[in-house]
Amino acid sequence: MMRKKIIISATDDSSWRIMQYFMFHDVADKKIAYWLEGRLKHIQFMPLQFLRKIHLSRKINTFLPLPFKSIWNTYLDDIKWEDDTKYFIIFLDSPLPIALSKLKQLKKEHNICYVILLLNSWVGGYAKANKQYIDSPDIDHVFSFDYGDSISQGFIFCDMLYSKLPINSTCSGPDIYYLGGNNGRLKTIHDVFESIKNHGLAGKFRVTDVSSEDMLYPNEIKYNQFISYDTALEEMSDCNCILELLRAPQKQICATLRYYEAVCYNKKLLTNNKNVINLPFYDPDYIHIFEKLEDIDWDWVKERILIDYHYDGRFSPIHLINKIIQLEEEKERQQNGKKEAT
């Protein structure tokens, strides 16, 4: 019987790649899958940097898929392919800068059962540039974290993945913690922060992408100070409640990162996402929803209670890996059935 090996190819977007690593930490850490950094190699020669930027441009490749993109990234060639192994390659968000001709070549030369494309969202970013891959017969399945995209585009829906890290929750720090970017919601962030102060609570806020003139609380809010995700989790583990402020909560259908953090690390969640009531592990004692400041129960935020969502590990990427292997096994059974019939 041939062995099975999962290869996870991360995106070249540095900030999103870091989050992808934490999402797949379960399978990478336990050696269930091989984590492959998809970053491009540094080029010192400026004209060559510019040429690569043009060649791999999302906008250009959206309207005119350029050939030979694989010359910029040969990391798939570094894999030690083995004849007695079946391979499953999962591209996260986009196979760029791997050319389709390169994928076709790899599938011919090695025992690659499935090439999977796992999309964060079909809107913006790599969306249109990805269409050439989605329409290609060399991409076997397209999964999406976005339920709406799965319905409209015919993708296989996949719940957002999250790997719980071994972090101890202390609740010995601030009453409420916020971490996020400006993203058009700075006024709301400041309004909530003012209300926290007015009610005598302690809050720790980190907000990025804020211009100097918009920093209303430079001595109290940490503006534009980027920290690693594991550091953010350590800070979050000390708080009593996580604050989530979505820019367009009415459009949010799926679970969010803040929701996963609250459930996995047993934290209260104060959110403007009304859809959270439809998610597993929702508990009105632990999760409060607000539409305006007057809706917030600050006594609830401040109260320290024992929280236990009884999380059962269902967000782990291990389940996605198992589903992909099941697809291959089902395909194999169908092929064997056809052979027997003939």
List, as one string, the DSSP characters of 252-308.
Answer: --S--HHHHHHHHTT-EEEES-GGGGGSTT--TTTEEE-SSGGG--HHHHH------
User: 176-302 adopts what CATH topology?
Assistant: Rossmann fold (3.40.50)
Q: Do domains 3-163+316-341 and 176-302 have the same CATH topology?
A: yes
CB within 8 Å of 339: residues ≥ 6 apart:
none
**pLDDT tens digits for range 64-91:** 777 776 677 666 777 888 888 999 999 8
> Tell me: the pLDDT tens digits for 260-273?
999 999 999 999 99
- 3-163+316-341: CATH topology is Rossmann fold (3.40.50)
Sequence ranges of the domains in the chain: 3-163+316-341, 176-302
Residue 177's SS3 state is strand
* Residue 177: pLDDT over 90: yes
Residue 238's pLDDT is: 94
Supply the DSSP symbol for 325: H
Bond into 67 cis (ω within 30): no
Question: What local confidence, expressed as pLDDT, does residue 73 receive?
Answer: 64
> Which residue in this structure is represented by tokens 């190699």?
41
**What is the pTM assigned to this prediction?**
0.81
User: Coil, helix or strand for 204?
Assistant: strand
State the pLDDT at residue 92: 84
Residue 256 corresponds to which tokens in the numbers above?
Answer: 């969010």
SS3 assignment, position 89: strand
Tell me 189's DSSP state. Answer: H
- Conformational region of residue 129, where left means phi above 0, alpha means psi within -120 to 50, and beta covers everything else: alpha
Distance (Å, whole) CA 222 – CA 228: 14
Beta bridge partners of 85: 3
Neighbours of 14 (CB within 10 A): 9
